[in-house]
Chains A and B, each alone.
Chain A
Amino acid sequence: MELRADSFSGAASGFKPLMAARTLAWISTQRNCPVTNEELCGLVESIAARRDRDAFAQLFRHFAPRLKGFGMRRGTDAASSEELAQETMLTVWRKADTFDPRRATVSTWIFTIVRNKRIDLFRREGHPDAELSEATEAAYEGRAADDELTLAEWGSVLRQALTELPEDQVTVLKKAFFEDKSHSVIAEELGLPLGTVKSRIRLALARLRNALPEDCQ
């Protein structure tokens, strides 16, 4: 239980042995209160609208240490992880006008940037993106942009669902995100049959999906 709560709550780690897992889960849903997604959206919008350097500095202070930590969790050395953080933040500055708060939270948007940046910097190949320009999107099958994905509004529900996942599913997801490993590599490393890893991924995603209202699943 301790490990599981720790997965999503660094801040509470000092008190871990004294607290019930439920309380830890509650704390992990609350710990972002000082900086809400709305505030982060405001910063990105200021950058897009006014090239606001103060807003950029605030966003940098919030995300750069996380981005460096993200690189280091994947085994990248400290200097390269800082470069990854810096390159990611420079892309945030350049692409601020493409951020759409209806589609994603700022953290999710920045996650996709650091993901692609990591591939650019360390793997030197492209990552074809599933994101489409709205104009193109309208031409294809699928829902119109207006009623698509209101996921951004459901961040706290998703966070709660994540803290309630069984530990074996969380372990697989964490390896996938932090260590940049495909499900077959994860299976090898955990010494599990491929089918077990696949089913943990499927069960985890099903639980997360079920936590969300039907129209944004």
Chain B
Amino acid sequence: MIRHHPEDELIVDFATGALGEGPALVVATHAAMCGSCRARVALVEAVGGLMLEDLEGEPVSAGLLDETLAMLDEGEDAATVAAPVAATDDREQVPEPLLRYIGRGLSHLVWRRVPGFPAIEEARLPIAAGVKAVLMRLKSGAVVPEHSHRGNEYSVVLAGGFCDGATSYGRGDFLARDPSHTHRPAADNDGDCLCLIVLDAPLRLTGALGMIVNPFLRI
């Protein structure tokens, strides 16, 4: 049962295309697991359809239709072809929008221990510049030290669960945190927890010490 969803304004930013690729990936991954949020996105898209329908058109160049008709039989140009989704046996954990970011599968990603925290490992995903997207795996019962982020943090739980203060999160739950939040998530004891986490702003650290003290700040 999914209990934590994106707010309306984030759904609108997603459905209008204003949301950057990183946060959009988290919203899409959540929506893939959440029928009610798919319906919320569809409602905003339907409003977009009505706005397009009612828009006063701009006359197009006289030759544009013929030119377009002549292009119909050309192959798709490379830029419009969606990246192929590699065969993977991770479909149970990884919803479709995320699949094409994990290449050949979870086990083929480069998993890196977070220095100083053997129970936590992360794999960085390829995404737009200026954004950090990782899959983070917390061993059963692992505790992430208290930390905050500059910029916004968006997460969705893919497997297992964790608690942050009095609130618990399970598969499909969505979280958005702004820089005012400080948190200390702790994985549930009944199995590993896998999350997708996106930080939408690059971090500016003032010194090497910051990196050592707080590895979760690195981007």
Contact = CB atoms under 8 A, between A and B. Distances in A.
Contact of A53 (B8, B31, B69, B95): B69
A24 interface: no
A63 B48 CA distance: 14
A103 interface: yes
A120 B81 CA distance: 11
Contacts of A174: 51
A66 B49 contact: no
A82 B61 contact: yes
Interface residues of B, number: 69
Contacts of B39: 148-149, 151, 216-217
A57 B116 CA distance: 63
Interface stretch (B22-30, B182-190, B205-213): B22-30
A8 B54 contact: yes
A202 B60 CA distance: 36
A90 B35 contact: no
Interface string A111-130: 11011101110000111111
Interface in B139-198: 172
Interface residues of A, number: 88
Contact of A126 (B7, B21, B59, B92): B21
What DSSP secondary structure best describes chain A's contact surface? helix
B50 interface: yes
A89 interface: yes
Nearest to A121: B79
A72 B48 contact: no
Chain B binding site: helix, strand, loop or mixed by DSSP?
helix
Contacts of B60: 64-65, 68, 82, 85
A142 B45 contact: no
Contacts of B44: 205
Contact of A64 (B40, B41, B64, B76): B64
B49 A183 contact: no
Contact of B69 (A9, A57, A104): A57
B47 A162 contact: yes
A148 B7 CA distance: 21
A69 interface: yes
19 contacts: A9-B54, A28-B54, A32-B53, A56-B72, A65-B57, A85-B60, A108-B50, A110-B49, A111-B45, A118-B17, A128-B27, A128-B97, A130-B27, A132-B32, A142-B36, A148-B35, A173-B12, A176-B16, A208-B43
Given A82-B64, A130-B15, A176-B18, 19 more contacts: A10-B56, A28-B54, A64-B57, A104-B42, A104-B46, A107-B53, A110-B49, A125-B128, A132-B38, A136-B91, A141-B35, A148-B35, A151-B43, A158-B46, A177-B16, A177-B48, A198-B9, A208-B43, A217-B39
Interface of A: 8-10, 28, 31-32, 53, 56-57, 60-61, 63-70, 72-73, 78, 81-82, 85-87, 89-91, 93-94, 103-105, 107-112, 114-116, 118-120, 125-130, 132-133, 136, 139-143, 148-149, 151, 155, 158-159, 162, 173-174, 176-178, 180-183, 185, 197-198, 201-202, 205, 208-209, 212, 216-217
Q: Pick the 4 closest A-B CB pairs, nearest first.
A: A142-B35, A65-B57, A108-B49, A10-B56
